[in-house]
Amino acid sequence: MRGPLIIVVRRRHLLLALLALLAGVVLGALPLVARVRPAAAPVADAISGRIVAIDAGHGGPDPGAIGVSGAREKDITLAIAIKLEQLLRRAAVYTLMTRTGDHDLVQGEHAAHRQREDLQRRAALVNRSGAHVFVSLHANSFPSPVWSGAQTFYLGGEETSRRLAEAIQQSLVAKLGPNRRQARPADLRILRDVEAPAALVEVGFLSNPEEERRLQDPEYQWRVAEAIADGIFAFLAAQYAGEPTSRGRPGGGRGGL
Ligand SMILES: [Zn+2]
């Protein structure tokens, strides 16, 4: 009878020791959490919980630009969009993708003006989401092969969109190497139709053989996605500095913030 009793007592001791250890770990970690939070909280609050809509340009029957060796704009925009989505989600940002596969938004239907209808549907989807930021991804093409470099566009006259585009362009230039291109205004339908602060990123020139090769390289695609994500974070941090996460509160549209 003694044997089992001793085992029970020892087990109880072991359990108490484990509980004490666990309590020590938890209590020991608390001051660390308390020290870290005040510095990180304002930026995290400005970013986490926001909604970012990502538009992979073209898709389905519309390949977009075709590179000198055959790369299709629609494939490159989607590959970067999927990576961007992952990076944003890691920062607790909600994401909306206008497409996640090789199709447009008019699939299976007849539309007299398919491209226009496609763009209108993308904008309507984004506007319904209450997005705080909209970013449309495209790749450039030009008759001459000499041009290269990513460039970001915004709708002229939209100050909030300008700040978003400049933040993204600054990050692209810093992370992707020499590029003297600046964020520029452009009168583009998708930028006109979307209500959130909106930027259109031309990730590079498919008409430049070297840039076409890089844009097909997943490693480079990650770098482009990281640059865009960092630009969005910088914009959100500045835009919503000191403002708690807007749970259930849409972005308020462009220009009004
Ligand atoms: Zn395009």
Q: What is the Å distance from ligand 1's center to 58 Cα?
A: 6
Average pLDDT over residues 210-227: 98
Q: Which residue has the higher pLDDT, 106 or 31?
A: 106
Report the candidate in 92, 177, 169 with the shortest Cα–Cα distance to residue 135: 169
Q: Is the pLDDT reported for residue 33 higher than 70?
A: no
State what percent of residues in the chain have pLDDT above 90.
Answer: 72
So what's the pLDDT on residue 165? 98
Q: What is the Å distance from ligand 1's center to 59 Cα?
A: 10
Domains in the chain: boundaries: 1-40, 48-239
Q: What is the Å distance from ligand 1's center to 243 Cα?
A: 35
Per DSSP, the chain holds a count of helices (H) and strands (E) of 7, 6
Mean pLDDT of the chain: 85
Q: Is the pLDDT reported for residue 27 higher than 80?
A: no
Q: What is the Å distance from ligand 1's center to 139 Cα?
A: 6
Q: What is the Å distance from ligand 1's center to 186 Cα?
A: 13
Under a CB-based contact definition with an 8 Å cutoff, are residues 196 and 132 in contact? yes
What is this structure's pTM?
0.80
Distance CA 18, CA 14 (A): 6
Quick one: DSSP state of residue 214?
H
Q: What is the Å distance from ligand 1's center to 65 Cα?
A: 6
So what's the pLDDT on residue 2? 44
pLDDT band at 14 (very low <50, low <70, confident <90, very high): low
Average pLDDT over residues 132-150: 96
Q: What is the Å distance from ligand 1's center to 190 Cα?
A: 11
Q: What is the Å distance from ligand 1's center to 40 Cα?
A: 37
The CATH superfamily label for domain 48-239 reads Zn-dependent exopeptidases (3.40.630.40)
Per the structure block, which two tokens stand in for 92? 């607790």
Cα four-point dihedral sign 82, 159, 202, 191: positive
pLDDT digits (tens, 9 = 90+) for 149-162: 999 999 999 999 99
Q: What is the Å distance from ligand 1's center to 73 Cα?
A: 7
So what's the pLDDT on residue 178? 84
Q: Which residue has the higher pLDDT, 18 or 225?
A: 225
pLDDT digits (tens, 9 = 90+) for 166-200: 999 999 999 998 899 999 999 999 999 999 999 99
Per the structure block, which two tokens stand in for 236? 């959100």
Distance CA 87, CA 224 (A): 11
Q: What is the Å distance from ligand 1's center to 117 Cα?
A: 15
Q: What is the Å distance from ligand 1's center to 93 Cα?
A: 25
Q: What is the Å distance from ligand 1's center to 141 Cα?
A: 9
pLDDT digits (tens, 9 = 90+) for 75-114: 999 999 999 999 999 999 999 999 999 999 998 788 889 9
Q: What is the Å distance from ligand 1's center to 64 Cα?
A: 5
